[in-house]
Amino acid sequence: MIELHITMSGRSYRPDADHHIFGYDRKRFPDMHAAKAWLRQRYGTCKRQPMYRDRDNGPPLHCGYVYHFNGADWSHSPVEKWRQQDWVEFRESKPADLAAQPRTVAHE
């Protein structure tokens, strides 16, 4: 199973504005093909950059993408616009076989 961990951040159009995290999301898919299809449908052709995770031993690990796009809130007047970055990390999850784990007994 593939999980996408999405951290959403935004900032105003001012050049000196900082990004602020405003939301998190997690999506689950049966395989990588389904996860990538969902990403294409959600983000389309917006700009993306590779995202890396540092490792103690070895080169950085390519773990996902940062998607850049312009956002807008049309539900309020006047329309508020901002620049958004979604940090999307791929993770593989496997079910745990609890029967195969050694049993421990608590001692008093």
Q: Are 10 and 85 in contact (CB under 8 A)?
A: yes
11 domain-assigned: yes
Q: What is the pLDDT of residue 105?
A: 66
Share of the chain above pLDDT 90, in %: 64
Q: Considering the domain boundaries, does residue 106 fall inside one?
A: no
Instruction: Give yes or no for a contact between 8 and 14, defined as CB atoms under 8 angstroms apart.
Output: no
Domain span including residue 62: 2-93
At residue 107, the pLDDT reads 65
> What's the whole-model pTM score?
0.79
Instruction: Count the domains in the chain.
Output: 1
Examine residue 67 and state whether it is found in any structural domain, yes or no: yes
Q: Is residue 98 part of a domain?
A: no
The answer to the question of residue 63 being in a domain is yes
**Domain assignment present for 76:** yes
Inside any domain, residue 60: yes
Task: Give per-residue pLDDT as tens, 55-106.
Answer: 999 999 999 999 999 888 777 667 778 899 999 999 998 888 877 766 666 6
Flag whether 32 is in a domain. Answer: yes
Are the CB atoms for 81 and 70 separated by under 8 Å?
Answer: yes
Per the model's pLDDT, the better-predicted residue between 15 and 29 turns out to be 29
